[in-house]
Amino acid sequence: MYRYPSIEISGINVIKNPLKLNEMFYFQILFELREILSENLDVRFVYVQSPTTKDGDDELDVYAIPANRIGKFKVNFLVASPTFYLESLIDVFGITLLLIQFTYLTREFMRIGYYVNNEICGPVERDSKSNLFLKINYIERNILKDQPRITKFSIF
């Protein structure tokens, strides 16, 4: 997938997909360290709810991976689901974006973006005033895992 002189990200597996709106994301990242590094690798998960503003970006989790051993590694990540607010609830539906950012010494060397499709997968109810209601467990999130967008950065 990506080769950096000391680090090779060889794959990302989306373990659970599709999932309910409030369920945690579950990923497995495969990588190889070819030399012992002086600092940890950081993996940051960011959910982009709206393409028009950064105000909707939600940093879900940041993990520090020790880089003190040479070898091939497989790490599983449970990542918190995004927080949705009433005023931005309309941004829940349609296509959103999940970014996985890899950094070393605070410099980003790789970013993988997955489009995420959120849709209603159950009944929508009406009250006597014709207001629509849906239950949060009827909203399903589907990561388009076969179509990642990969961006690489030179950090040296």
User: For residue 43, is pLDDT > 70?
Assistant: yes
Per the prediction, the chain carries an average pLDDT of 82
d(CA 25, CA 132): 28
Which run of H or of E encompasses 45? Answer: strand 41-48
pLDDT for 135 beyond 70: no
Q: What is the pLDDT of residue 130?
A: 56
Examine the pLDDT at 44 and tell me if it is beyond 50: yes
Q: Which whole number is the average pLDDT over 134-142?
A: 73
pTM beyond 0.85: no
Question: Which residue in the block uniquely carries the two structure tokens 């974006």?
Answer: 97
**Which domains can be identified in the chain, with CATH numbers?**
2-150 (2.60.40.1490)
Residue 16 tokens read as 């659970």
Q: How many residues does the chain have?
A: 156
